[in-house]
Amino acid sequence: MDTASGSSTSTPQPGSEYEAFTVEQRGIDIIPPEERQSTPAALFWIWAASIFNIEYVIYGALLIVVGLSFGQAVFIIIGGNIVSWIFLGLASMQAPDAGTSAFMLTRAPFGTHGARGVSLFNWMTQVGYETEGITLVVLALLAILAKAGVHHPGDALKVVLIVLAASVQLLLPFFGHATISKVFKVLSYAFIAAFGLLAILAAGKVHLSQLHQHAGGGTLVAAFALAIALGGLGWTENANDYSRYLPKETSKRSIFLAATVGGLIPAVLLEILGAAVATTVANANDPISGLPHVFPGWFLVPYLIIAIVQLFVINTMDLYSSGLTLQAIGLRLRRWQAVFIDTVICAVLTGFVVFSNSFNKVLSDFVLFTIVWIAPWFGIFFVDWLLRRRRYDAPSLVRESGGLYFRNGGIHVPAVIAQAAGMFAAMMWINAYPVYFGPLTNRTKGADLSWLVGLVIGAVVYYLLARSQVKKEVELTPTI
């Protein structure tokens, strides 16, 4: 449907064809077959380009900062990322069945109106990550200015940098999926080369034997939860936004492998590099003034430029999805209008973070708490897809009233109960010290199992409460 008018449509609108460097007109409406021109290879490069990013070097460094040895960090990085990116692959397979975005598909388990609540959670999550990315861009620009001799930039200059960063960030999400797919594939090659250069320059200064810390069991479990949150599980709510342009007949196995492997390989490589670098840098949790000190002095500015470009890329994923989610909440906006609104909001929030000098604390607390809602949502979403035999009634997904998924006033109560139960369970077992320490975490020496119990409780409760109703809906779902 045209999200500005609310009317339904089954034919392409003028200018809505899947073509790079034109403004994508499709939002949360159903993508018609003739416009589904993406491929699993394109999906692979979208995720690879996004994750070949300086943020994942930072994430690897964070594992050393929280007290792990390098060997422990590598174990957590490999194990946590394998589990986490499998979740992303599983969350990428649904969109080709219906041709719409993740939080329009969420209407199937939650109901037309019930899905708006988790859509709001997702929108807030995306905006948070966008703010994180734009903040890092601004910090990198300030570091470049410091290198040029501007050591005490005034507030006016900081505001100019925030506006500049937000304006550049707007471009790729504004154009849309086809442009993102094409540009990301080209940038992937450049990012792979940049990673190789970073590894070579860091190799001579890393001394793993000098790190004597060794974390206990509770810290290891908490670090594993952090790796899960920072990896594919934290991207599952975006996944179908990027696979919805795949033809319906695309192999599920190909979709799964493209998304999983595309994110897994760069995440593991970059996080191991970050952990190695962090063993010799006192303030490794600072990606701008900390990590670059392991590189030669002449490389600081190139490093920051690489970081800025990569941050714009990863932020594109969040900003594109947040625009679609804003539409799914129910605002009558076109996709590009939603992207513009989100960019303005992120610029304002970035100003608060930059002027408060609290980036590291904001990042760690934010990432952990997002999993409280994401894990049960994913469990519910995936179980629902399996229960309905991997089929959706696409016209019902985009109807604002009536249809197969409207049910009792637009809310599917079993999903709401399951989401609440999963979030409660996650809060009982989360380690977000010193902000919040779950009661069960406190009894297990700081272990954080929020991602696991949230996912399992959400999935099991939904299965028990909804399976009979969903089986009835399956009988009413068209097979074509």
**Segments making up each domain of the chain, as ranges:** 33-369
Residue 458's alpha-carbon distances to 60, 122, 157, 311, 415, in angstroms, are 29, 17, 47, 33, 8
* CB neighbours of residue 358 within 10 Å: 12
How far is it, in rounded angstroms, from Cα 28 to Cα 401?
Answer: 16
**Cis before residue 434, ω within 30 degrees of 0?**
yes
Phi then psi for residue 12, to 5 deg, are: -60, 140
How far is it, in rounded angstroms, from Cα 293 to Cα 297?
Answer: 8
Residue 182's alpha-carbon distances to 18, 22, 175, 179, 381, in angstroms, are 11, 12, 11, 5, 29
Considering only CA atoms, which of 138, 121, 186 is closest in space to residue 420? Answer: 121
How far is it, in rounded angstroms, from Cα 103 to Cα 447?
Answer: 31
- Please report the pLDDT score of residue 292 as a whole number: 66
- Please report the pLDDT score of residue 4 as a whole number: 39
Phi then psi for residue 178, to 5 deg, are: -60, -40
How far is it, in rounded angstroms, from Cα 431 to Cα 429?
Answer: 7
Interacting residues of 124 by C-beta distance below 8 A, sequence separation 6+: none
Question: 213: left (phi > 0), else alpha (psi -120 to 50), else beta?
Answer: beta
How far is it, in rounded angstroms, from Cα 288 to Cα 291?
Answer: 7
Angle at 413 between CA 410 and CA 419, to 5 degrees: 115
Interacting residues of 85 by C-beta distance below 8 A, sequence separation 6+: 231, 232, 259, 260, 261, 263, 264, 267
* Chain CA centroid to CA 58, Å: 16
* Fold classified for 33-369: Hydantoin permease (1.10.4160)
* Chain CA centroid to CA 182, Å: 20
- Please report the pLDDT score of residue 205 as a whole number: 72
| pLDDT in single tens digits along all 480 residues of the chain | 333 333 333 333 444 468 889 999 899 999 999 999 999 999 999 999 999 988 898 888 888 877 888 889 999 999 999 999 999 999 999 999 999 999 999 999 999 999 999 999 999 999 988 988 898 899 889 989 988 888 889 999 999 999 999 999 999 999 999 999 999 999 999 999 988 988 888 887 776 665 556 767 777 888 898 899 889 999 999 999 999 999 999 999 999 999 999 999 999 999 998 888 887 765 555 555 556 667 777 888 888 898 899 999 999 999 999 999 999 999 989 999 999 999 999 999 999 888 876 555 555 566 668 889 999 999 999 999 999 999 999 999 999 999 999 988 999 999 999 999 999 999 999 887 667 788 888 787 778 889 999 999 999 999 999 999 999 999 998 876
Cross-strand partners of 432: 436
Residues 399-405: contacts with CB under 8 Å, at least 24 apart: 399/8, 399/112, 400/6, 400/112, 401/112, 403/112, 404/473, 404/476, 404/477, 405/107, 405/108, 405/111, 405/112, 405/473
Q: Which amino acid is at 252?
A: K
* Chain CA centroid to CA 2, Å: 26
- Please report the pLDDT score of residue 15 as a whole number: 42
Q: Which tokens in the block code for residue 136?
A: 């890092």
Considering only CA atoms, which of 30, 42, 15 is closest in space to residue 258? Answer: 42
Residue 254 exposed, middle or buried by CB count within 10 Å (0-12, 13-18, 19+):
middle
* Chain CA centroid to CA 133, Å: 12
Q: Which tokens in the block code for residue 210?
A: 């000098």
